[in-house]
Amino acid sequence: MLNWASRFDPCCYLDSNGYANPPSSYECLVAAGATDALQAGAGAAFSLLREFQQKKRDWIFGYLSYDLKNELEALSSANPDGLGFPDLHFFCPGILVLLKPGELVIAIAGDRTEAARILEEIRESPDIPEVQVREAPFCSGLSDREYLDRVGSLQQHIRAGDCYEVNFCREFHRTGHIPYPVSLFQVLNSRSPAPFAAYYRLGSRHLACASPERFLRKTGQELLSQPIKGTAPRKSQASADHDQFLQLLHSGKDRAENIMTVDLVRNDLSRAAAENSVQVDELCTIRSYAQVHQMISSVRCRIGPGVHFIDAIRYAFPMGSMTGAPKIRVMQLIESHETARRGLFSGAVGYIDPQQDFDFNVVIRAIQYNAADGYLSFQSGSAITCRSVPALELEECRLKAAVLAEVLQDSVIIPGG
């Protein structure tokens, strides 16, 4: 189904990979081709999205890029961007495939009698070609030494009282031709299956994402956000792996990061919430995935009377787990200390259904590729606090980047294109 869908432009493929917790409404969602689409830059993007949804009142799929921050606050993005994703893109799918336990639904714009033909096309679609190992070096706008120095600079801002926590990221990139860009997601998802995995194609631009994190979900009048802060590597031996689990569970630094992010999320949700409805369902729970253990919390509320659901998204964006606190000041520091535009990284991909329910992930553990010029990129980062040890923050970035680098080494990449 993935290979069949990837030939359409645009295309969105969302996979929960069988994770039942955190809850997901679907095992898999596929949106292929567009009957109508919205593309917008920061400025009036959320208003345009609201108008688009009200006009269509149907399934729409799309993404919000991190740089929509410039619409929400008096901010700017001047760092270089090698990928060129628009700030916002949503589309009404020409073909929609919904997979639930024991149920497959195919919906087609116009003639619904075509569903049987589409199912046959999916069944007959060949497997994605096998990948081959090709070595090529990665570049970064920050050396290890420069990264450590900038962590130290951010800690000076924290000690001076400018902020409490900053999510600081580093980009790695290289150039090369990938004959089958969808193989990036195929390999990433097999190596690191995650509950909010996503593949997105828009023209020559491709996103492969193995996200374990939910940004925001709406079900009826209820909003749910599940921020992640705190990461520990998995180990092959059960006893060592359990030790990693326990170390993360009892890590004072990671708990402090997580609780600060929860406070930020509570504040963001309160802007859209009914009075006294914001509550923390779980705090600093550890969940285990293929490559890492993660510390996760869950915050929920009811939407207040008269609040439009698009405004609820707008109030919470960008997500606190990828910014820090206080949000506006740390976004200024992120811009001055990082060397690449985040774009779709630390944005959100998801859907809005005809009942105005929605579910969006946080775009992390993600590879982006622009086939037009062969630019291939991924970013990784960590939360910087006054208690951070710069060398350990560098190691956490390496841990998060390791699976992405492994995927890129195992994808068909011809250096120089």
pLDDT digits (tens, 9 = 90+) for 310-336: 999 999 999 999 999 999 999 999 999
- pLDDT tens digits along 365-382: 999 999 999 999 999 888
Cα separation, 17 vs 323, whole angstroms: 27
Q: 402: pLDDT confidence band, cut at 50, 70 and 90?
A: confident
Residue-level length of the chain: 417
Give exposure, 360-369, as e/b (b: 16+ Cβ within 10 Å).
bbbbbbbbbb
> Over the chain, what is the mean pLDDT?
91
Contact 91, 31 (CB under 8 A): yes
| Whole-prediction pTM | 0.94
Mark 144-154 as b/e (b = at least 16 C-beta within 10 Å). Answer: eeebeebbeeb
pLDDT at 406 over 80: no
CATH class of the 2-415 domain in this structure: alpha beta
